[in-house]
């Protein structure tokens, strides 16, 4: 399919934490009419996420950490329960998720399986997120996890029974989209 859009101008509004751009572009509508539109897009790079699961014990590894955007949008304490994730930082997705898994959860994993990739908020954020799953055992735990100090991470590692984790979606304790997608994937594919 040929592109129906052509960028006319790009203005950087902020390049502080990540990059916020204002773009003006031409877009050809379904009826053939060409219109000029202006939108903003936030570029934070691409990322990877993983759900570690233990088939025998029927458990999953999750994390809990403070997320400022959730705090300023009604999450009273700002804490979110999530699957392990991180930005690619010039790594390929598999190397990234292995590194992030060890840093955040303390588990050193080798066999990861990519299951899909998705745009998480395509109306305003450029990020593609690469989704992985991997089995874990107690023997794979090499550190306490918790993140990296110089990145100001303060991550709590949680081990939950899969049914309890799925119930946390139903009762609103888990509101993170990537985590919901991964937990539902485990359920739908019968991995446990």
pLDDT score of 70? 95
Average the pLDDT over 1-6 and give the result.
88
pTM: 0.93
Q: Quick one: pLDDT at residue 151?
A: 72
Q: Is residue 1 predicted with pLDDT exceeding 80?
A: no
**What digits encode the pLDDT tens for the residues 137-166?**
999 999 988 887 777 778 999 999 999 999
Beta strands in 56-112 (DSSP E): 59-66, 79-82, 84-87
Question: What is the DSSP pairing of strand 128-135 with strand 47-54?
Answer: parallel
- At 88-106, the pLDDT tens digits run 988 999 999 999 999 999 9
Contact criterion met (CB below 8 Å) for 174 and 81:
yes
The pair of three-digit structure tokens given for residue 75, joined into one six-digit string: 């999450």
pLDDT band of residue 17 (cuts 50, 70, 90) is: confident
Environment class of 97 (CB within 10 Å of its CB; exposed 0-12, middle 13-18, buried 19+): buried
Across the strands, what pairs with 64? 81, 156
CATH architecture of the domain with residue range 47-188: Alpha-Beta Complex (3.90)
Model pLDDT, residue 192: 87
pLDDT tens for residues 164-179? Answer: 999 999 999 999 999 9
Delimit the domains of the chain by residue range.
5-43, 47-188
Cα distance between residue 103 and residue 191, in whole Å: 25
pLDDT band at residue 9 using 50, 70 and 90 as cut-offs: very high
């Amino acid at each position: 399919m040929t592109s129906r859009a052509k960028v006319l101008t790009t203005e950087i509004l902020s390049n502080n934490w990540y990059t916020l751009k204002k773009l003006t572009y031409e877009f050809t509508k379904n009826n053939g009419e060409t219109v000029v539109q202006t939108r903003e897009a936030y570029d934070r790079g691409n990322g990877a996420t993983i759900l570690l699961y233990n088939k025998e014990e029927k458990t999953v590894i999750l994390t809990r950490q403070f997320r400022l955007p959730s705090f300023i949008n009604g999450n009273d304490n700002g804490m979110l329960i999530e699957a392990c994730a991180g930005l690619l930082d010039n790594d390929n997705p598999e190397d990234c998720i292995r590194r992030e898994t060890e840093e955040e959860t303390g588990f050193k994993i080798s066999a990861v399986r990519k299951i899909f990739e998705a745009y998480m908020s395509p109306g305003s954020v450029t990020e593609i997120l690469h989704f992985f799953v991997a089995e874990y055992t107690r023997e794979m735990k090499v550190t306490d996890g918790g993140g990296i100090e110089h990145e100001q991470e303060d991550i709590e590692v949680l081990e939950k029974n899969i049914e309890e984790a799925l119930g946390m979606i139903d009762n609103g304790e888990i509101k993170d989209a990537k985590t919901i997608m991964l937990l539902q994937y485990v359920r739908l594919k019968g991995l446990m």
